[in-house]
Amino acid sequence: MLKRLVPTILLFIAGTTAAGENYHWRNITVGAGGFAPNIVFSRAEENLAYLRTDMGGAYRWEQSRQRWMPLQDGMAESSYFGIESIAADPGDADVVHMAAGMYKHYPAAMLRSFDRGRSWKVIRVPFAMGGNEDGRGLGERLAINPDNTDQLLFGSRFDGLWQSLDRGASWRKLDSFPHAGLGQPQERWSSRGGISFVLFTHGNIFAGVADRPAAGIYRSGDGGASWKRIAGGPQALLPVQAAAAGDRLYITYSDDIGPNGIHGGAVYKLDTDSGQWSDITPPPKGAEGGFMGLSASGQNPDVVAVATVDRWQPRDNIFVSRDGGESWRELASRSERDVSATPYLYWGNDEPDFGWWIAGLAFDPFDDHTLVYTTGATVYRTEKLAARKLPWRPWVAGIEQTAVITLTSLPQGPELLSGFGDISGFVHEDFDRSPRTMLTTPVFANTNNIDYAGAAPEIVVRSGTPPHRAEGPVPTLAWSADSGRHWQPLTVPPVSVNGKSRRYDLSGDDAITVSADGDTFVFMAPRPQRSVDRGRHWQAVKNLPVGLRPVADRVDGERFYALDFARGKIYASDDAARTFEPLNTQGLPAGMKAPKNREQAWPLLATPGRSGELWLVSDKGLFRSTDGGRNFRQLQSDIAVEEMAFGKAAPGRDHPALFAIGTRDGLRAIWRSDDADGNWQRINGADSEYGRRYRTLAGDPRHFGRVYVGTDGRGIVMGEPSQPSTASRQDKRTAAAGGSTQ
């Protein structure tokens, strides 16, 4: 019996604009940076490929431009940037289908395009997906019948097997499939493997199930009307990926769905005519981790490549066989990697890593000397697989798939400093090249906070979380005397709070700030600590209630402010944070919520170039003080501001322009105000939605109208007016001459 789904079809056409048509948006180049679960080559046309990412959408390789093109920047739905699966039509190079849905509790849809992803038709579906959940390296779950491209099958995580007979316009559940799905787990972050892959080959359909106890390989010889589980194969493992080649099926197995938590695995070959199984696991058997990435040659069915996963010791590897798995050649020790185009891949080490989480592995179907693999940070490609020494280079031009936590634009020196999730952060001095300078000594996993001295911007401080798999306590604080190009670690002795002493500088939960003159560092332990000798000695800040976080005035090096959110009161210091005194603050409501997430931008802001001017972004509104926090006025803003930043003043005005992430009438967007009075205009349009996955922002103090926006999945995007003003053109001439435009 078939359950019919009546489709909801929405049409998205890239390139249309409504608001923000006077702004130009582009990426700041880093180069990949996140986990790409798989790459899918077209079999209908050479040099055509698609890349799916777990939270940054999909890309198409554009051979004529020699770059990857993002395919979803005009989409407003955040969830559709978690790509569950991609299927390129095997007969029509213009047709591509995607399954999109970030998490099981988010919207899910089937997307289909007849122009290579330039525009999409969106069909909402009632079953859940998990493009950024555990198991996102499985697949491909979405498959097109090469003999009848009207027929598509999709193996879902939670709700069995689904079919479309009208080229993806509508979908029905196939109740004939033996595994109906286990449903969504109750735990918020728990996931399931479900149907891990679907393959059409030589009149048969194969589907893998990665749910216990139904795990195994299923076959249909009648177009999906009936199914039978194939006997044999490893009983204790889950099939995670498969590749068809001639009369055989290659399958990688693991004991979990990954990408983490896998301890064992195997590789098997199934003769689809005889039903005979062969264990072809590369040696040494029983090694740490499992297997995931898998690809077979389009020219020779004996040529197959497999990748390990979670083999942390000694490291993950790729194996290639040219005799159907009878013997294997491992690639890591025979490889050299040229990462000059994306130097962050050194991570401060002498050599770049071969890679981890290798879920995506693909031969070019037209050339089996070309092999590509994806990792947790990049995409590598070689065109000389037969070489004695394999040359790999990142294949990432155009891909920006990172989660950006914090951004700071300096009034002099490098124009932008960034803090990322998983890849520390960067000094950006050439927006068209991957940064030469990563934030190192120490390297953080996540950089959560960057601050600079308002009157001495070469002094910069930052805080972050320890590197993944760090051995022992490591610094989570650092400072720089040259605008972030070089760093020195900071450590803080134990702090006593409520009679208990502990090191608060080890977790990365607490930020650091610096006075306007650069002389005083303040560390935000529950009882803040100050240092006036670059971290050699620390003293407790006096007269400040536990839990309050100081903010430095941007002009006066002696002045600091701290907000008591619960009482709506400001504490101020005029002695470089030695002592604080409560002010008789007027105009702020009580009962405001203080941020709890260490990655959240602090909502009390000091205005650059204006001593005593403070702004507060709160759940109760937007407030401004011009007298050092004694009196605040609520702005009657027509947007609900989530985060705000300052930029260069508009021509003819003396107050910095304001930029905001905010919502008006349900529309979450990027806004600018030139009058400091809450009159906002939207500056991003229908071609620059980025899933509305805006995470942080920074205005540029040197170029009017320029703003940097950190997204959750599409890296850093920069917006600036399409028609530069006379002032902006003068900015560029001055900057080109090496001067400051502030």
- Catalytic residue annotation: 54, 422
| Residue type at position 481 | A
**Left, alpha or beta for 535 (phi > 0: left; psi -120 to 50: alpha)?**
left
Cβ pair 711, 55 in contact under 8 A: no
Instruction: Determine the distance from the C-alpha atom of residue 629 to the mean position of all C-alpha atoms in its chain, rounded to a whole number.
Output: 37
Strand partners, 447: 464
Instruction: Determine the distance from the C-alpha atom of residue 498 to the mean position of all C-alpha atoms in its chain, rounded to a whole number.
Output: 38
Q: Which residues, 6 or more positions from 220, have their beta carbon under 8 angstroms from its beta carbon?
A: 204, 205, 207, 226, 227, 228
User: Two tokens at 414?
Assistant: 């490098």
The 3-state DSSP composition of the chain as helix, strand, coil percent (nearest 5) reads 5, 40, 55
CA dist 654 and 359 (Å) reads 53
**Is the bond into 213 cis (omega within 30 degrees of 0)?**
yes
| Residue 488 phi, psi (nearest 5) | -130, 135
Residue 199, helix vs strand vs coil? strand
Q: How many other C-beta atoms are found inside a 10 Å radius of the C-beta of residue 690? A: 28
Q: Which residues, 6 or more positions from 732, have their beta carbon under 8 angstroms from its beta carbon?
A: 703, 724
Residue 346, helix vs strand vs coil? helix
N-terminal to C-terminal alpha carbon distance within the chain? 70
Q: How many other C-beta atoms are found inside a 10 Å radius of the C-beta of residue 230? A: 15
Question: DSSP secondary-structure letter at 698?
Answer: E
| Residue type at position 719 | G
| Residue type at position 172 | R
